[in-house]
């Protein structure tokens, strides 16, 4: 298995604010804090990730 390609959120800033990165794995989507990559990541199913994004959009 090759290493996943992490992508920073388009809403992240260069001012050192809250940054999230996502990557596709085998059947799951990884979500991690770009400032603390060694802390690990959450592994969400595509359905869980879609629900998370919907919820966050409602809060914005």
- 26-48: pLDDT as tens digits: 899 999 998 888 999 999 999 99
Compute the half-sphere exposure of residue 40: CA atoms within 13 Å on the CB side of its CA: 2
pTM for this predicted structure: 0.78
Of 23, 24, 19, 20, the closest CA to residue 6 belongs to: 23
Q: pLDDT over 70 for what percent of the chain?
A: 88
């Amino acid at each position: 298995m090759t290493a996943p390609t992490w992508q920073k959120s388009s809403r992240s800033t260069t001012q050192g604010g809250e940054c999230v990165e996502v990557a596709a794995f085998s059947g799951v989507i990884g979500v991690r804090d770009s400032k603390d990559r060694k802390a690990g990541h959450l592994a969400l199913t595509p359905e869980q990730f879609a629900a998370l994004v919907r919820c966050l959009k409602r809060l914005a």
